[in-house]
Structure 1
């Protein structure tokens, strides 16, 4: 105990924003071969494998996007909360300092 807590609130909020962007990209990404044909990929077998991958990926992607969304919200709210707490504490300390200076009880 007794150690100072240090939180880079801007960095935490940036992390939340980055996770939100990743979440958005994951919700768009389906089959990486969408829009490509045999002429582009070389064979129907490759297209079929991408289709299989896409079906499996969809299940895992949905779980992952749910978790990314939750984590993004947590990080964003944590950054905001830390910043609000820090501002409130700083204002309270400034108020106490001002009272002590007026009363002459401040450090000399």
Structure 2
């Protein structure tokens, strides 16, 4: 293999994109637990503390979801760009023969 050879692991890129989407879906679905937690806690001080925690969690979860979405798009974009390049190079190689 020469120094200019590039090997792209499409299987890894596909798996990474799929896993990022699955993680993003899990975080989106975590919203439902908030009401369960609030109803299970009895004392008002604990409810207030849990309310603060849940509010903070929501803010951070939203930021994390945005980041997961962006990284997922970048992985998919990288995969698609390399696949397109690979297809173009394959077509170019066939034309020369």
Q: TM-score band, normalised by the shorter chain?
A: 0.7 to 0.9
User: What do residues 47-103 of structure 1 show as CA deviations (whole Å, max 9, x unaligned)?
Assistant: 54432221111111111111111111111121111111112102211221x2xxxxx
Q: Distance in 2 between matches of 1:67 and 1:30?
A: 17
> Normalized per residue, which structure has more helix?
2
Q: Could you tell me the TM-score, scaled by structure 1's length?
A: 0.69
Q: Tell me, in whole angstroms, the C-alpha distance in 2 between the residues paired with 1:73 and 1:10.
A: 16
TM-score (norm 2): 0.76
Partner of 1:71: 71
Secondary structure in 2 matching 1:2: coil
Judge conservation of contact 1:17–1:76 (CA < 8 Å) in 2: no
Report the Cα distance in structure 1 between the residues aligned to 2:32 and 2:56, rounded to whole angstroms.
Answer: 10
Q: Secondary structure at the match of 1:5?
A: coil
Question: 1:80 maps to what in 2?
Answer: 80
RMSD value over aligned CA atoms? Answer: 2.4
Q: Which has the higher mean CA deviation after the structures are superposed, 12-21 or 22-31?
A: 22-31
Higher relative contact order (CA 8 A, sep 6+): 2
Q: Structure 1: which 5+ residue stretches go unaligned?
A: 99-108
Report how far residue 46 of structure 1 moved: 5.0
The question of whether the paired residues in 2 share the 8 Å contact of 1:32 and 1:50 is answered with no
Segments of 5+ residues of structure 2 without an aligned counterpart are: none
How is 1:16-27 mapped onto 2 (pairs within 5 angstroms)? 16-27=17-28
- The structure with the larger Rg is 1
Q: Distance in 2 between matches of 1:93 and 1:26?
A: 45
